[in-house]
């Protein structure tokens, strides 16, 4: 039955165009929080002042969600029930003076807060998550980022259970109370929006260190964790100090408080949160130790620690005027953390990884029902907008501006931005205005990158005229329609390029009588533009979009020979990799055609030869070599089709892997052996590169599942002294055609790591990403495992997220059972944790590109979810999916 909701119950959209400055400022807030599992009491004292920019006599309206109001006093006088109203998450006081104090006392129930927004319990500790709109679940407040306030926070709790009580800023007072309770008072000297508020209470221990800033101030650094995790903090501490130094050297930004704290919590919706002076992290993004975490985890920790630290300037000192500006802080900060990781590790590999992710996951988002601009103009639930588009595409847009300005002027522009808007809530326009001012470039057309959704496509074609000695390059751009945006305007697209001559060297570029050296950036502004290069003696191969200079799809009709040529000779490392990917895509698409036509399969010999050249070549950068050996993912291949045949793509890719292994067995084996380390494990760039290369080779070899390779893999599993090698081997065994190969190692691994939830997450993931048809049954079995819980987001992501996101053939099973299982889980999570539910459902919303039987089954599950009483989060996504 279709339960028809009354019109008013439907969540309403909020529009950027309706923005108005706040009616009241909060000069100061004093919080008094008495922690209790079910009856936490919060007394807040707000010093309010009317905003004289707004019309006179406006009522006071504060946000408050799920609060039990116990007391309310204005200027020291209790308010009569007729003087205020608490309805639909708003507290309204109609008549208030221009300046006054408001005291409210509320009660909340953290132990029953499964949404993990506001104040909640994670195991035995209390913690908070306020971004975007969680603070309203703690107390009444103007919960919007443009109200900046000085916070003083007194926390009181049972001393035995919660010896450690933390909040933002500096501790100014502490003491013992009756009944075994104690308190600590924290004061944050920097005015901040309430989304940056944080509070923690628990039985925690810290790893401590210090950092001396560039002006010589000493900052105390503390990483607080549950005692069993103390040995997993060293890498995060190293990363924190490296981040602090890097931001000084690269952006001239110094830390501003005397203490910087990180807390690890097990139950967390996202990766981490940049609360002023008190970052709160998902334990998966801060804990790392060689025996239990992989190289990838080490790099994730470094990146996320950097990201949150960098927010202290790009986010905290300069914050956002409203949530439509989210990419102002997130896009910029991702760009900053990407540059940091590039400087700390292999820069080309970092770029390859970031682009690979953007081109699969973000492009898919931009082409689906939830597509939105980097700066959206409306939303129903802001939590749905912490997306790859806001974060990753937003970072690409900042990267393009950095490219357009060049290193020095970009730095001048960011200096200007930080100085001009320090202590303010800014907009995307403010940021771009600094870029324009410093560079004197015109960014008006460029602003369309913020307004238009969808991935632009550039069709490039070249014409060589031997007599005229010219090469004409024509670029045509087009951005496809996205929901709510039918017509798109041409964007300003920087296309970095070169022309590679027959001898493999870049040719000198002469354009409009100007000598441009051997590489240049073309500015594509029109729907179609032709660039004519002069004095070109022989037909070149164009190398376009070097370094992935813009987040677009670039099509050029390269021959396989040209791609192999670019793979070997392009002076741009990124484009060498990309040429290899293009060659592999052609070969895999050819196999897909053969599969669909029921023809015998044969892998393109050009791909085999190109791979042979790689394996036997002189490539010294092992990290890049490993990337170049990797075939494009099934998700990326799917992106190449309007109608996706998941089974054929999977079959084609598996066939290609095995064919490469058969043809190049000796080479893979030799490279595997050469890269077996002697000496101690360290998570540093050279070793990471070797392990990556070695395990890539082992992966190919195991595609054959021959006796010798099985023995090699088993030996690696048994003897590894680090999780990277052990997990790589375990994954290969668990994904083997023969289910017996994985059984025993999985059992042993599961038993020996039962005490460590982060390792159990890996154990869950690698079982449900098994491509064989029994994966769904295993998933169901594992959902009943004692270590699994729907209430923990990491467990949900490790098990269900991994299955629907990384096991395409099984999620899209032809009997529809994958869809049904996801819908079941989403319906349950809708009640427990709306944010996680709305994220998890996304793969189901992408039904348009599947074959028609699958479309029907997917839509049927979406309809089934729609029957429920939905949170705004899920309501918004489901409506878009079925629109």
Region of 41-49, 268-276, 349-357, 671-679 interacting with ligand ARG (CB under 6 A): 268-276
| Contact positions with ligand ARG (CB under 6 A) in 447-466 | none
Q: CB-wise, 327 or 477, nearer to Zn ion? A: 327
Q: How many CA atoms lie within 13 A of 167 on its CB side?
A: 27
Region of 272-280, 463-471, 691-699, 716-724 interacting with ligand ARG (CB under 6 A): 272-280
Supply the DSSP string of 325-391, one letter for each residue: GHHHHHHHHHHHHHHHHHHHS-HHHHHHHHHHHIIIIIHHHHTSTT---SS-SEES-GGGG-SHIII
Residue 110 C-beta: closest distance to ligand ARG, Å:
17
Residue 308 C-beta: closest distance to ligand ARG, Å:
6
Contact of residue 639 among ligand ARG, Zn ion, none (CB under 5-8 Å per partner type):
none
| Contact positions with ligand ARG (CB under 6 A) in 383-442 | 383, 386
**What is the C-alpha separation between 511 and 515, in angstroms, rounded?**
7
Whether 308 is a known active-site residue: answer yes
Contact of residue 634 among ligand ARG, Zn ion, none (CB under 5-8 Å per partner type):
none
Residue 396 C-beta: closest distance to Zn ion, Å:
16
Q: CB-wise, 196 or 710, nearer to ligand ARG? A: 196
Among 188, 289, 293, 308, binds ligand ARG (CB under 6 A): 308
Number of residues that bind ligand ARG (CB under 6 A): 11
Phi, psi of 74 (to 5 degrees): -115, 125
Query: Do the Cβ atoms of 663 and 697 come closer than 8 Å?
Result: no
Q: CB-wise, 113 or 333, nearer to Zn ion? A: 333
| Contact positions with Zn ion (CB under 5 A) in 323-362 | 330, 333
Q: Is 673 exposed, middle or buried (0-12, 13-18, 19+ CB in 10 A)?
A: exposed
| Contact positions with Zn ion (CB under 5 A) in 585-644 | none
Residue 552 C-beta: closest distance to Zn ion, Å:
24
Give the x/- contact pattern for ligand ARG in 97-136, rule: CB under 6 A: ----------------------------------xx----
Q: CB-wise, 122 or 333, nearer to Zn ion? A: 333
Among 67, 119, 273, 656, binds ligand ARG (CB under 6 A): 273
Residue 446 C-beta: closest distance to ligand ARG, Å:
24
Q: Give me Rg for the CA atoms of the chain.
A: 28
**What is the C-alpha separation between 436 and 441, in angstroms, rounded?**
5
Query: Do the Cβ atoms of 306 and 239 come closer than 8 Å?
Result: yes
Helix (H, G, I), strand (E, B) or coil at 408: helix
Q: Which residue is nearest to ligand ARG (CB)?
A: 386
Q: Of these residues, 302, 308, 330, 365, which one is catalytic?
A: 308
Q: CB-wise, 334 or 544, nearer to Zn ion? A: 334
SS (H, E, C) 210-262: EEECCCCCEEEEEEEECHHHHHHCHHHHHHHHHHHHHHHHHHCCCCCCCEEEE
Helix (H, G, I), strand (E, B) or coil at 573: helix
Query: Do the Cβ atoms of 388 and 455 come closer than 8 Å?
Result: no
Contact of residue 289 among ligand ARG, Zn ion, none (CB under 5-8 Å per partner type):
none
Q: Is 131 exposed, middle or buried (0-12, 13-18, 19+ CB in 10 A)?
A: buried
Residue 311 C-beta: closest distance to ligand ARG, Å:
6
Contact of residue 155 among ligand ARG, Zn ion, none (CB under 5-8 Å per partner type):
none
Residue 339 C-beta: closest distance to ligand ARG, Å:
16
Contact of residue 272 among Zn ion, ligand ARG, none (CB under 5-8 Å per partner type):
ligand ARG
Among 32, 143, 274, 302, binds ligand ARG (CB under 6 A): 274
SS (H, E, C) 78-111: ECCHHHEEEECCEEEECCCCCEEEEEEEEEECHH
Q: Residue 773: how many CB atoms within 10 A of its CB?
A: 10
Report residue 169 CA to chain centroid gap: 27
Q: CB-wise, 96 or 328, nearer to ligand ARG? A: 328
Q: CB-wise, 303 or 818, nearer to Zn ion? A: 303
Residue 272 C-beta: closest distance to ligand ARG, Å:
6
Q: Residue 610: how many CB atoms within 10 A of its CB?
A: 22
> What's the helix, strand, coil split of the chain in %, to 5?
45, 20, 35
Query: Please, what is the Cα angle at 547 between 546 and 551, to 5 degrees?
Result: 95
Q: CB-wise, 302 or 330, nearer to Zn ion? A: 330
Contact of residue 354 among Zn ion, ligand ARG, none (CB under 5-8 Å per partner type):
none
| Contact positions with ligand ARG (CB under 6 A) in 327-386 | 330, 383, 386
Cα torsion through 422, 426, 428, 433, rounded to 10: -60
Residue 382 C-beta: closest distance to Zn ion, Å:
14
196 near ligand ARG (CB under 6 A): no
Report residue 860 CA to chain centroid gap: 30
Task: Cite the active site residues.
Answer: 308
Enumerate binding residues for Zn ion (CB under 5 A): 330, 333
Enumerate binding residues for ligand ARG (CB under 6 A): 131-132, 270, 272-274, 307-308, 330, 383, 386
């Amino acid at each position: 039955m279709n339960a028809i909701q009354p019109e008013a119950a439907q969540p309403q959209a909020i529009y950027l165009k309706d923005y108005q400055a706040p009616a009241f400022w909060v000069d100061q807030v004093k919080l008094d929080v008495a922690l209790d599992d079910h009856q936490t009491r919060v007394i807040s004292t707000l010093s309010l002042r009317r905003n004289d920019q707004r019309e006179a006599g406006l009522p006071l309206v504060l946000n408050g969600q799920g609060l039990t109001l116990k007391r309310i006093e204005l200027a020291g006088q209790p308010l009569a029930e007729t003087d205020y109203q608490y309805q639909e998450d708003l507290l309204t006081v109609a008549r208030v003076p221009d300046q006054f104090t408001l005291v409210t006392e509320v009660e909340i129930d953290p132990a029953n807060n499964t949404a993990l927004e506001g104040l909640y319990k994670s195991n035995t500790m209390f913690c908070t998550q306020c971004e975007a709109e969680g603070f309203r679940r703690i107390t009444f407040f103007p919960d919007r980022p443009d109200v900046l306030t000085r916070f003083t926070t007194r926390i009181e709790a049972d001393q035995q259970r919660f010896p450690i009580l933390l909040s933002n800023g500096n501790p100014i007072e502490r003491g013992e109370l009756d009944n075994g309770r104690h308190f600590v008072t924290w004061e944050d000297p920097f005015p901040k929006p309430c989304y940056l508020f944080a509070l923690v209470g628990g039985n925690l221990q810290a790893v401590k260190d210090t950092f001396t800033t560039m002006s010589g101030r000493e900052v105390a650094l503390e990483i607080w964790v549950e005692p069993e995790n103390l040995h997993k903090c060293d890498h995060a501490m190293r990363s924190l100090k490296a981040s602090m130094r890097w931001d000084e050297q690269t952006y001239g930004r110094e830390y501003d408080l005397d203490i910087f704290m990180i807390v690890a919590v097990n139950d967390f919706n996202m990766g981490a949160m940049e609360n002023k002076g008190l970052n709160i992290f998902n334990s998966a993004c801060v804990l790392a130790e060689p025996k239990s975490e992989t190289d990838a985890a080490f790099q994730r920790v470094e990146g996320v620690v950097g990201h949150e630290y960098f927010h202290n300037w790009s986010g905290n000192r300069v914050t956002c005027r409203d949530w439509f500006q989210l990419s102002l802080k997130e896009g910029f900060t991702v760009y900053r953390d990407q540059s940091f990781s590039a400087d700390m590790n292999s820069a080309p590999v970092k770029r390859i990884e970031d682009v690979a992710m953007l081109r699969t996951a973000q492009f898919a988002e931009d082409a689906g029902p939830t597509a939105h601009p980097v700066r959206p103009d409306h939303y129903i639930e802001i939590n749905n907008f912490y997306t790859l588009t806001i974060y990753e595409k937003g970072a690409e847009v900042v990267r393009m501006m950095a490219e357009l300005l060049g290193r020095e002027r970009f730095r001048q522009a960011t200096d200007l931005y930080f100085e001009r808007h320090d202590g303010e809530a800014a907009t995307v326009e403010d940021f771009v205005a600094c870029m324009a001012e410093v560079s004197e470039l015109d960014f008006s057309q460029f602003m369309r990158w913020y307004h238009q959704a969808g991935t632009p496509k550039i069709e490039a074609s070249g014409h060589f005229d031997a007599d005229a000695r010219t090469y004409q390059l024509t670029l045509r751009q087009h951005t496809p329609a996205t929901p709510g945006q039918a017509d798109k305007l041409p964007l300003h697209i920087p296309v970095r390029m070169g022309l590679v001559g027959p001898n493999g060297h870049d040719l000198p570029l002469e354009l409009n009588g100007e000598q441009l050296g051997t590489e240049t950036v073309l500015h594509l502004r029109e729907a179609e533009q032709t660039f004519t290069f002069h004095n070109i003696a022989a037909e070149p191969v164009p190398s376009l979009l070097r370094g992935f200079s813009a987040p677009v799809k670039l099509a050029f009709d390269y021959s396989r020979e040209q791609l192999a040529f670019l793979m070997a000779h392009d002076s741009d490392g990124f484009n060498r990799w990309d040429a290899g990917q293009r060659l592999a895509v052609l070969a895999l698409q050819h196999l897909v055609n053969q599969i669909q036509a029921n023809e015998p399969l044969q892998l393109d010999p050009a791909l085999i030869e190109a791979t042979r050249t790689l394996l036997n070549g002189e490539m010294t950068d092992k990290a890049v070599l490993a990337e170049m050996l990797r075939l494009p993912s099934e998700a990326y291949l799917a992106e190449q089709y309007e109608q996706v045949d998941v089974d054929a793509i999977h079959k084609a890719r598996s066939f290609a892997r095995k064919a490469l292994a058969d043809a190049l067995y000796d080479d893979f084996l030799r490279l595997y052996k050469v890269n077996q380390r002697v000496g101690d494990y360290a998570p540093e760039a050279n070793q990471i590169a070797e392990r990556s290369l070695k395990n890539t080779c082992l992966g190919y070899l195991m595609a054959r599942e021959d006796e010798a390779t099985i023995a090699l893999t088993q030996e690696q599993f048994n003897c590894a002294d680090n999780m990277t090698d052990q997990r790589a081997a375990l994954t290969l065994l668990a994904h083997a055609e023969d289910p017996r190969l994985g059984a025993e190692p999985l059992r042993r691994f599961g038993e020996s790591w039962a005490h460590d939830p982060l390792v159990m997450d890996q154990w869950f993931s690698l079982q449900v990403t098994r491509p064989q048809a029994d994966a769904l049954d295993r998933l169901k079995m594992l959902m009943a495992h004692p270590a699994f819980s729907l209430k923990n987001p990491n467990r949900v992501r490790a098990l269900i997220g991994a299955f629907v996101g990384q096991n395409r053939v099984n999620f899209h099973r032809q009997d529809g059972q994958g869809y049904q299982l996801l819908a079941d889980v989403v319906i349950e999570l809708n009640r427990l944790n709306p944010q996680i539910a709305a994220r998890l459902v996304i793969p189901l919303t992408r039904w348009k590109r599947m074959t028609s039987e699958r479309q029907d089954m997917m839509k049927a599950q979406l309809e089934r979810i729609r029957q429920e009483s939905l949170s705004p989060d899920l309501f918004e996504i489901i409506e878009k999916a079925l629109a």
